[in-house]
A = this chain, B = another copy of it.
Amino acid sequence: MVKESKQSGGLEWRINVPNETTSKVLVPESKSQIRVCNGLRGLIVGFVSRIWKFFQKAWSIAVREPKKAIHGVKVGMALSVVSLFYYMRPLYDGVGGNAMWAVMTVVVVFEYTVGATLYKCVNRATGTFLAGALGLGVHWIANQSGEKFEPIILEVTVFLLAAATTFSRFIPTIKARFDYGATIFILTFSLVSVSGYRVDQLFELAHQRLSTIAIGISLCIITTMIFCPVWAGNELHYLITNNTEKIADSLNGCVVEYFGINANVNSKGEDSDKVFQGYKCVLNSKATEEAMANFARWEPAHGRFSFRHPWNEYLKVGVLLRKCAYCIESLNVSTNSDTEAPDFLKKHFSKYCIGLSSSSSDVLKELAVTMNTMTKSTKIDLMVHEMNNAVQELQGALKSLEKQPIIKDSKNGTEEGNKSSTFIVPLMEMVPIVSISTLLTEIAARIEKSVEAVNELANKAEFEEGTKKSKQNENQQNSN
């Protein structure tokens, strides 16, 4: 109990409550009551420790990603400003009781990224306007057709439009770009066409609703874009760049660990384990990538990105990275398999496998640098060439196994030196090495495709050319 209250700090007063209750109830000192008290105490302690953990988690999120905490502050700020409309006489007189719509707009429309906020703003404005106009039109037609038919016409149009619009939300193109707009369309159309039956000043209502929504929307856009903006495009850019680096680290770490530079790796402990598992984030990042690309389309030019930055190309790179991650998943299986390859075989192949994995991860890291700096790499072709050479060498090593039995080198041997002899490696013991080699070769092929995708991105997004120095080198090479 004391420990708990020390831990919880500011929450101490909550913990004192059960103590007081306990001292009161304990007077008759019956066992069942003590049991009840203990049970209650346990419940409360459990509850408090749960809340405590919740706050710890919240705090750790806020520390790790202060942007998210700032987003909370931004929403609070926007809401405080919009509620000023109620307190200030002149503002209130201008907008009237409809200020409610401004508050509602801010709450519903304000999203974490600028792109998502703009998407919702545009959808809300368009949906409201279209539905409002259509609602007025239908209302006018219904009005002309006599009192008897008016509610019937209105009911039928509400039914048909609501059904059609709701269904349209299942169509992928609508879902991706106008999902929120469809909801708002149904909402506004129902409200206008239905309430029009009672409210006489329908035009004034529509006008007021539109203007309050406009106030809410412009407030949201200003707040989200001026104070520490979080751009969806930026997030997508860094997500893909980070994923590229993660794949590079996982690939290299996994191979290096297997081929026995164990001492160095193990000393790093959990950190290195985190690095190896990095590819798992890539396996599951599809949904985030697509959402970000969707929102990024709505964003204006910002930072280094123009308005029509080719966000779709990032998705293509993302898909190819994920394909690499699938292979690394299998690679992890092979390196953790029960069948242990003999040490001398591992030593023989470590050169080729580590060579290939490090040149592959170099290519990936160069891709990450290319995307990060938005500068076309002058080295990438050379690096891909090196990677392909490493593939050839590995294949050569595999081929040479069949022709020329491996001879353990007695020069390097210390303990094993005396056993130096010529013999054929048993097949079963070669299985892991063969699998790892196949997978590394496949990963290299997939990385080459990623390089093409990044080149495509670089061309479409008009990345800068590489440094002059390397250009001069190229020119010299050409002239030679």
Contact = CB atoms under 8 A, between A and B. Distances in A.
A167 B197 contact: no
Contacts of A36: none
A402 B426 contact: yes
A330 B283 CA distance: 14
A329 B326 CA distance: 7
A398 B428 contact: yes
Interface in A192-240: 194-195, 197-198
B166 A71 contact: yes
A43 interface: no
Interface string A305-328: 000000000000000000100110
A444 interface: no
A158 to B, nearest CB: 6
A170 interface: yes
A178 B69 CA distance: 18
A411 interface: no
Contacts of A351: none
Interface in A311-355: 323, 326-327, 329-330, 333-334, 337
Interface in A144-172: 151, 154-155, 158-168, 170-171
Interface string A39-60: 0000000000000001001100
A431 interface: yes
Interface in A424-480: 424, 426-428, 430-432, 434-435, 437-439, 442
Interface residues of A, number: 84
Contacts of A151: 87
B194 A57 contact: no
A399 interface: yes
A14 interface: no
Interface stretch (A2-10, A72-80, A259-267, A269-277): A72-80
A108 interface: yes
B167 A71 contact: yes
A61 B431 contact: no
Contacts of A395: 428
Interface stretch (A99-107, A246-254, A375-383): A99-107
B402 A187 contact: no
A62 interface: yes
Give me the 3 closest cross-chain CB pairs, A-B, nearest first.
A72-B167, A76-B163, A402-B427
8 contacts: A71-B166, A75-B163, A75-B166, A80-B158, A326-B326, A330-B330, A330-B439, A432-B438
